[in-house]
Structure 1
């Protein structure tokens, strides 16, 4: 089964173009890996979902960590939700679908979302946690893990991503990123099994 091909839609193509234009290669690859993890996990667990919505959310979920879209006041996931709403409006999505996209992006930094309540939100949470801190990464086969990282190399992801989160935490001490930075999250990111072969 193919877990790497984007949905055939104008919105999906535009999301990739935006990500390619505004994110560094390490962050672009993180977003593409997140989509692959999410699709594979959905297949493993038989979670029905909206493929286009999931793809666009995966591609745009960290866009507010980049300098052009960084908010000085809002947590990056909230700023990203607003940005995604604007993107979706430009893509011609209706208001309800724009709201769903924004919700999925905001929730990826929140408490666990059950698949039965929000399949796309759940899948993005699982995928991002696997890619960032190695949570549940063992639920994917070693062969698939190797294929994902071969297609979309990590490119110094650990150092760059933890530095970006540390910056968010310093400027926005009440945000979710600050809570993670103050926990054992940095250690878990450094010890992600996905990075072990490169060490």
Structure 2
């Protein structure tokens, strides 16, 4: 179940317009994995804030919002702040959405310090590189992957990261490419699941 507010509806509209089908499903799955993980572990989180950040966390990879200078997560954070303020959120809440998006590409954040960033980090690293597989039992994957299939996400995402790395080698995406994210993407257990 996803939160239903005017802002979450607007975030889904933006995501649907600007993402490819594979990236859109990835962002929706990232929210659902994050919420499932947090709920199962008793991590209290702001559902609306997590949803908006999850839906927009890769918007900086899309052509209209790509920056030739900023890492994609920073560009996406700026876009999310603008979106959230335009949707009526106060600036401090909009800044939280931006912070979560930036943090998802950086070192792990503890759930006590920042639950939403922690949950998006766990979910996105599971989605992309298969980390935390033990937290998501195989039988829990079937329904979600049937509703939101991968649609070749791994190959598309790797191409995005390789493009980011070529233009912005000092970015976290550049570091990921240098440390062989291609192999981690290729061996992600989500891509060998029957529902994909």
Q: Is TM more than 0.5 here?
A: yes
Q: Report the CA distance between 1:67 and its aligned residue.
A: 0.5
Tell me if 1:66 matches 2:53: no
| Preserved CA contact (<8 Å) 1:131 1:137 | no
Q: Which moved more, 1:90-99 or 1:132-141?
A: 132-141
Q: Deviations over 1:68-125 (max 9, x none)?
A: 1100110000000000000001110001101111000000000000000000000000
Residues paired across the two proteins, number: 195
| Preserved CA contact (<8 Å) 1:81 1:103 | yes
What is the rounded CA distance, in whole Å, between the counterparts of 1:137 and 1:147 in structure 2? 16
What is the rounded CA distance, in whole Å, between the counterparts of 2:193 and 2:7 in structure 1? 35
In structure 1, what is the equivalent of residue 134 of structure 2? 138
What is the rounded CA distance, in whole Å, between the counterparts of 2:133 and 2:16 in structure 1? 26
What is the rounded CA distance, in whole Å, between the counterparts of 1:139 and 1:173 in structure 2? 32
Alignment of 1:74-89 (within 5 A): 74-89=70-85
Secondary structure of residue in 1 paired with 2:193: helix
Structure 2 spans left out of the alignment, 5+ residues: none
What is the rounded CA distance, in whole Å, between the counterparts of 1:166 and 1:185 in structure 2? 10
In structure 2, what is the equivalent of residue 185 of structure 1? 181
Q: Deviations over 1:20-78 (max 9, x none)?
A: 00100000000010011001101111000000000000000001100011001100000
What is the rounded CA distance, in whole Å, between the counterparts of 1:171 and 1:122 in structure 2? 28
In structure 1, what is the equivalent of residue 17 of structure 2? 21
Task: Give the alignment's TM-score, normalised by structure 1.
Answer: 0.96
Q: Over aligned residues, Cα RMSD in angstroms? A: 1.1
In structure 2, what is the equivalent of residue 150 of structure 1? 146
In structure 1, what is the equivalent of residue 117 of structure 2? 121
Q: Deviations over 1:103-160 (max 9, x none)?
A: 0000000000000000000000000001111101221121211111111000011110
Tell me if 1:52 matches 2:52: no
What is the rounded CA distance, in whole Å, between the counterparts of 2:113 and 2:182 in structure 1? 29
Q: Report the CA distance between 1:169 and its aligned residue.
A: 0.2
What is the rounded CA distance, in whole Å, between the counterparts of 1:164 and 1:14 in structure 2? 25
